[in-house]
Amino acid sequence: MHKIGFIIYPGFSPMNFAVTSVFEITNWKAGSGVYQVTLLSERGGPVATSLGYEIQTSSFKRRTFDTLIIAGSIAAPAATPGLLSYLRSAVDRTARIASVCTGALVLAEAGLLDGRRATTHWQFARNMQRRYAKIAVEEDRIFIIDGPIWTSAGMSAGLDLALALVEIARAVAKILVVYHRRAGGQSQYSTLLDLDATSDRVQTALTYAKEHLSKPLAVNDLANAAFLSPRQFSRLFREETGRSPAKAIEQLRVESARLMMEAGRFSAEEIARKNGFGNRERMRRSFVRAFGQPPQAIQRTVSALVQ
């Protein structure tokens, strides 16, 4: 049986428990106790979540596990000296130490990430890099494995990390009705969600663009949707989004195309056509500008994961 210690602390987010569901389903699917999960805290006993209710825990003192996972929180967690000392001592007797979301900041404070690649939620990544210069922080990754240390981005990315930990991930993902599993190198955040505007007119144009990505979408088209002149629209659009209409449309197209590739159900030609690139070569150039790699790299990753 593989023993997993799941470390929590006052103010941790209950969303972390989604990670433990992966091990629960794995045990059920295997028909035996493959994984034993123990909720841990420094002193044991009840620990309050960020919502106020309490979770019963055991003390991690003088305990040894095959895998340790430290939970994340909405705010940056405050690591106690006892927790840091335990993590430092656990490195030599634990096969894997992992973090969910901002739990990576605790690993960083303990020095476990020095000289390693790591990730955390994108809102904390740059501050983490500034504070811990010895860490190679990659803010646009779902999860990263560097030797025995595993780090994940936002709390939902903890599911991807947990699925990567188990050996029958595809079957577990199917039962949980989640994607089997996202590659660690995927983007944390989406242009489709991030691109927003404050005025109704620019927001209307963005909605129109998202619904008509297969069309040419010239500035005149977007301006008409916003009931503005092309000049007024371009000026207002840049003020509200920080980018030109042409650049925004390209970002929307490559993001939509990437999501279609990750779904694994469409050919490259169909993806290029549905997202308004016209042909595969134009799509390739846009992908290289946006992601630093061609569409084929993402398609190879998806193919490897679903096999």
Interval 170-200: pLDDT, tens:
455 555 545 444 544 455 445 554 566 678 8
- Under a CB-based contact definition with an 8 Å cutoff, are residues 205 and 212 in contact? no
The pLDDT, as a whole number, for residue 68 is 96
Q: CA 213, CA 277: separation in Å to the nearest integer?
A: 9
Give CA–CA dist 119/97, Å, rounded: 14
Cα separations (Å) of 85 from 58, 79, 88, 104, 111? 17, 10, 5, 15, 10
Distances (CA, A) of 260 to 103, 116, 228, 263, 281: 31, 32, 32, 5, 17
- Answering whether pTM is above 0.75, one says no
* Structure confidence by residue, pLDDT tens digits, 210-247: 889 999 999 999 999 999 999 999 999 998 888 899 99
In the numeric block, which tokens belong to residue 264?
A: 């694994």
Angle between helices 295-306 and 245-263 (to 10 degrees): 20
Strand 143-146 versus strand 149-152 pairing type: antiparallel
Contact 20, 69 (CB under 8 A): no
DSSP secondary structure letter of residue 49: B
Are residues 107 and 97 in contact, defined by beta-carbon separation less than 8 angstroms? yes
Q: Higher-confidence residue: 262 or 281?
A: 281
Q: How much is the pLDDT for 149?
A: 93
Cα–Cα distance, 158 to 101 (Å, whole number): 7
Residue labelled with tokens 């927790």: 83
Q: Which two tokens stand for residue 170?
A: 């595809």
Least confident of 39-48, 119-128, 139-148: 139-148
Largest CA distance in the chain: 70
